[in-house]
A and B are shown apart, each in its own frame.
Chain A
């Protein structure tokens, strides 16, 4: 019995993999299975990185009223190839005083950590590399390796700007990791599982035409927004790009990197952004599930990548729109707004769980979130008088 064509298209990569692996002797099948998946992940996301660099430069160009790259290939879309050749052929400079081994290991560790995170992301139905029992925990554990890589890069370069950039980056990443984890806890509470595959499976049902995505509840919506703000800060994207603030500390922790190692840093940064976006999609936006019940005939992986491209577009839009924050604003925002809001959100998710379904549940949870958000952002600062700013060091 052959499954209907819709299902065939959905599972084409899974069946293809089984077909290819089936040709090998039994002894090598399990390892070939893993290698094939890893190669696929590396190729697909590296390609996505190449596409994103062009999209980002063109999108920013459009926002800033200029053209962006338009010379290589049709409408400049072969620009990443030119960039790749350029970074490969450039001289790889290492400062004489640098710590050679650590300086070399930093970009490698960053890229490895970024790729490891994809192991638990389900990019389609039956298309997660491993279904770990503690998949979300694995994702965050791997994410901490990024901090280590950033520190290694900044410290080993023996440059004050790179050290300052690394310290800023680590302080920022640690501060925003707390709200990031707390924002995803609401989903773990609702799904009752740390496995990414189980979390997506929870969201594949439909009421009428509407999906059961977690973002379509008050706590899910707030959690998604908080998660995305924290994810922007975690991946050092504008408006939280202080660690590499060009106008103050030149390029932060990768000031002393050139050639291919710089390209690796660039790759690692974008891969981190895709991975956190992918986790946001998995946790809140239903993973590979279609947004309406009548659209389920489109293969699941296409939905995942469509959502991922949408998230990337939002990231580019934000980068082109918002100015960079100050360091104290950044920290205050993390500890005085994000942290209390995520804690309140956990409480709201608990209330949601124990109240009977209906409109009242919606109103109570929404009120539980909107009132503190207003108070924390505007209300409590209304009567506050701001002292005149003093400049202690720059008169």
Chain B
């Protein structure tokens, strides 16, 4: 339980809480990027360099920016004063708290959690590449297919339908 871990965990959780609690949607996304960056730093701290950098590249660079674009295209000029939470917010937060209680209980009481840190090196890029090209080549191809389908699907779904024949 090092100081680095505590700081990074605090940043990550502060970012995610702010994401879900803020009124302005753009502020939410900016807080979200903070949370994602904190998660990436946690990955780096765990020695998973490739995953941490991919996390920043994909989430901060693509997902957050995409969300911002959609917010810009859908937001109304006048800010509403009504609640940002839906009518069944109480039930929702109760369920979430319950889930956390169960998960926390399971984690604390589990025997695997008290495992000591094995002394080992980080995940270098070359073994990851080798694994992607040999053992995980089928999932990789399926992933490529999925991403292509998602690309085409997103364009088709979001594209403006042409009115008339102009």
Contacts and interface: CB of A to CB of B under 8 A. Distances in A.
Nearest to B24: A99
A177 B49 CA distance: 21
Contacts of B26: 155
Interface stretch (B15-23, B112-120, B121-129): B121-129
B56 interface: yes
B53 to A, nearest CB: 5
Nearest to A105: B30
A193 B33 contact: no
B4 interface: no
B106 to A, nearest CB: 34
A390 B142 CA distance: 44
Given A134-B49, A144-B61, A145-B60, A193 B126 contact: yes
A12 interface: no
B43 to A, nearest CB: 12
Interface in B45-60: 49-50, 53-54, 56-57, 60
B68 interface: yes
Given A152-B30, A174-B65, A193-B125, A141 B72 contact: no
Contacts of A133: 49-50, 122, 124-125
A167 B71 CA distance: 12
Contacts of A148: 33, 60-61, 64-65
B53 A147 contact: no
B125 A134 contact: yes
B30 A147 contact: no
Interface string B1-43: 0000000000000000000000000110010010000000000
Q: Chain B binding site: helix, strand, loop or mixed by DSSP?
A: helix
Interface size class, chain B: 20 to 34
A141 B53 contact: yes
A140 B65 CA distance: 15
A53 B65 CA distance: 31
A174 B126 CA distance: 27
Nearest to B54: A137
Contact of A151 (B49, B54, B65): B65
A132 B56 contact: no
Contact of B50 (A134, A151, A170, A174): A134
A202 interface: no
Interface in A143-169: 143-145, 147-148, 151-152, 155, 163, 167
A373 interface: no
Contacts of B72: 163, 167
Contacts of B56: 141-142, 144-145
Nearest to B71: A155
A137 B60 contact: no
B32 to A, nearest CB: 11
A43 B124 CA distance: 32
A312 interface: no
Nearest to A177: B61
Contacts of A193: 125-126
B65 A134 contact: no
A190 interface: no
A45 interface: no
Contacts of B53: 134, 137-138, 141
A302 interface: no
B61 A151 contact: no
A138 B122 CA distance: 16
Nearest to A138: B53
A246 B13 CA distance: 42
A141 B126 CA distance: 19
A193 B126 CA distance: 7
Nearest to B72: A167
B60 A144 contact: yes
6 contacts: A133-B50, A137-B125, A140-B57, A144-B60, A144-B61, A177-B61
Which 7 pairs from chain A and chain B are nearest by CB? A144-B61, A141-B56, A137-B53, A141-B53, A141-B57, A194-B125, A134-B125
Given A134-B125, A137-B57, A148-B61, 14 more contacts: A102-B30, A133-B50, A133-B124, A134-B53, A137-B50, A141-B54, A141-B57, A141-B60, A145-B60, A145-B61, A148-B33, A167-B69, A170-B68, A174-B62
